[in-house]
Structure 1
Amino acid sequence: MFSKAFSSPSKANWVIQGAGVIWLLACILILLHYQVSFKIALTDAAVYTGLFMGAVLILDRVFSFYSPKGRNVILLLILPLFLSLIGAVIHRFGLQWFFQNEEEYYSFLQQHFYLRWAILALAEVMVTLLAIVVARLEQQEDSQKREIHMMELSREAELSQLRQQLQPHFLFNSLNSINALVVSQPQKARQMVLQLSDFLRGTIRKDLKAWLSLEEELSFLKLYLEIEKVRFGHRLQVEIDVPDEIFQMKIPQLLIQPLLENSIKHGLYGVTGEVMISLKAFKEQNYLILKLTNPFDPESPSPGGTGFGLSSVERRLYLLFGRNDLLEKSSENSLFSIQLKIPQLK
């Protein structure tokens, strides 16, 4: 009971011992006030203190193995009353036998028996109530820890599920492109297979919770762009503007690729000429800001798809940071923009 209430068992022992010393000294002073000799007062106080500390140890053992609930709380309050009665009886008759020749002290013990029992009972009931409160606090703490642990497991499971969805989503798109090139342009299909292999080899075992430097993330992004350039040829132009001084800023792995894939899909859909997609990065306060811009035809119907790219990024940001304001979308003058804010962990 007490060992759990403090930061360490040794600290709890010091507190219990200190309380015992204070109890002993208080008993001695009270007995001296009643004109009891120092020898008798010391013996009386030592026995009284020993009985109290013994009851505390018994209560400690009881509450270490059993936490009262419901009506049992009332039943357990009977335990300190019973222990205090036993202690008071042992104290009275034990000291009467030990100091049987001290008639004044014998009379003193008889007169103050119920008072001593009441004091012991009150102190032990307080100890019991303290034990119940500590037990409740420990239960709440354990419950909160379990809840946090379950939420963490759920978050990790969802991140893992997003990863399992993200890789096949990109892989299926790439395989469809390879299938279209196999007959008409077999050399490009072979090149795309090799580049896809390199990309998957570098990303398939990565943890979506892992943080990489922006430089490392851009290297994976360039592998992805090489694959897409085989698919779209000269039509796909990507301008990457990233200052060298922010290359070492951190970003969750594979966070940009779904956004870039979304820009390519919407930017090249229904367009026959070249399309320029812009990726810019800069630092703003404690954020890494990434901005993707692609042209689109507002009069053309939207390309088919599940919208998985943007929704997966939004969900990952919420799971990682607990925020919904880190991804902003806007469109103006036939340009669609996505701005991504990545807080930098210290």
Structure 2
Amino acid sequence: MFSKAFSSPSKAYWVIQGAGLIWLLATVILLRYYGLGWIVALVDASIFSGVFLMGVFVLDRIFSFYIPKGINTWLLLILPLVLSLIGVLIHRFSLELIFDSDEELALFLKSHLYLRWAIMALAEVMITLLAIVVSKLEQQQATQRRELHIMELSKEAELTQLRQQLQPHFLFNSLNSINALVVSSPQKAREMVLLLSDFLRGTIRKDHLTWISLREELDYLNMYLEIEKVRFGHRLRIDFKVEPEVPGFSLPQLLIQPLLENAIKHGLYGVTGEVTVILKAWKNQNYLVLSIENPYDPETVSQGGLGFGLSSVERRLYLLFGRNDLLNKKALDTIFIVELKIPQMK
């Protein structure tokens, strides 16, 4: 009980020593009140405190290995009563043995036997119940820690799964484009394969939980855009508008790429001319804010089908921050805007 009730042995040691000292002093004062001499009172109190602490130690050993439940809870009362009775009997016989010629003391011990038993039993019962409560609380805390650990593992597993879904999603799109270019433009197909290889080599090795600077993320985005430019040619134009103070800000790796891929897909859908996708980045209080704007045709693009990229980023943000308000979408006439807010941990 005490071994579980306190976080370190030194703390438990000092608490037990302090309780024993208080018990000793209180006993001495009480015995002096009843008229016993100092020597008798000190010996009496020392033995009484010793048997009390011994009883507490025995209870500690018993309930450290076994906590009664159900119909066995009566042991929480019976054991302290039995141990306290044994303690007061040992105390009485010890004093009678030490002061064998003191008949007045023997009479005093006999007349106060039940009072001593009641006091010691009450104290040991209270200590037992207190230690059991503390032990239960510690078990609850341990259970909560395990549940939190399981939740963290679950989040990591889902984040890993999301990333494994995102990479094939982008990869399949690129392979379809390569397949289309093989016949019409073999040189562009070869160029796209090399760019795709470089991009995947740089991203697969990264830990999905690692935060990187916006500057590094933009480097990955430029590699990705080189692939898309081979795919769409002169039709695709990307305009970066990044404030000077934000390239050093941090964000989860490859968080923007699915949004940019979604913007390119829906911006170029049903459009034959040149399309400009605008990516902006700025600071707002303790947030790195990014917005991606792309043209879209309200008549051909359903707002209900915004793609896998947006939903995966929304889920990833929730797993990382526990919030659903960090990604906002809105349509203004023929412009679709996605705004992303990333809390800065520093």
Equivalent residue number for residue 180 of structure 1: 180
Distance, in Å, in 1 between the alignment partners of 2:71 and 2:250 is 56
The one-letter amino acid of 1:337's match is I
Does 1:135 pair with 2:135? yes
Task: Kindly report which structure 2 residues correspond to 1:42-191, keeping only aligned pairs within 5 A, or say none.
Answer: 42-191=42-191
Equivalent residue number for residue 312 of structure 1: 312
Aligned positions, number: 346
Distance, in Å, in 2 between the alignment partners of 1:70 and 1:276 is 72
Deviation at 1:93, TM superposition (A): 2.1
Distance, in Å, in 1 between the alignment partners of 2:318 and 2:217 is 20
Deviation at 1:299, TM superposition (A): 1.5
The one-letter amino acid of 2:91's match is H
Is contact 1:3-1:13 (8 Å) kept?
no
Please list the CA deviations of residues 36-89 of structure 1 after superposition, one character each: whole Å capped at 9, or x if unmatched: 121111111111000000011111112222233333333232111110011111
Displacement over 6 Å in runs of 4+ = 303-306
Equivalent residue number for residue 8 of structure 1: 8
Distance, in Å, in 2 between the alignment partners of 1:217 and 1:104 is 91
Task: Kindly report which structure 2 residues correspond to 1:237-316, keeping only aligned pairs within 5 A, or say none.
Answer: 237-302=237-302, 307-316=307-316
Distance, in Å, in 1 between the alignment partners of 2:303 and 2:188 is 25
Is contact 1:330-1:338 (8 Å) kept?
yes
Is contact 2:4-2:135 (8 Å) kept?
no
* Runs (5+) with no aligned partner, structure 2: none
Where 1:63 maps in the other structure, the secondary structure is helix
The one-letter amino acid of 1:184's match is S
Where 1:71 maps in the other structure, the secondary structure is helix
Is contact 1:263-1:277 (8 Å) kept?
yes
Distance, in Å, in 2 between the alignment partners of 1:322 and 1:187 is 46
The one-letter amino acid of 1:277's match is V
Deviation at 1:118, TM superposition (A): 0.3
Task: Kindly report which structure 2 residues correspond to 1:179-258, keeping only aligned pairs within 5 A, or say none.
Answer: 179-258=179-258
Distance, in Å, in 1 between the alignment partners of 2:13 and 2:54 is 14
Please list the CA deviations of residues 230-275 of structure 1 after superposition, one character each: whole Å capped at 9, or x if unmatched: 0000000010111222110001100000000000010001111000
Deviates more, 1:228-237 or 1:34-43: 34-43
The 1:303/1:297 distance shift into structure 2, 3 A limit, reads same
The 1:295/1:185 distance shift into structure 2, 3 A limit, reads same
Distance, in Å, in 2 between the alignment partners of 1:325 and 1:20 is 57
Where 1:228 maps in the other structure, the secondary structure is helix
* Runs (5+) with no aligned partner, structure 1: none
TM-score by length of 2: 0.97
Is contact 1:282-1:290 (8 Å) kept?
yes
Where 2:227 maps in the other structure, the secondary structure is helix
Deviates more, 1:294-303 or 1:225-234: 294-303
The 1:72/1:307 distance shift into structure 2, 3 A limit, reads farther
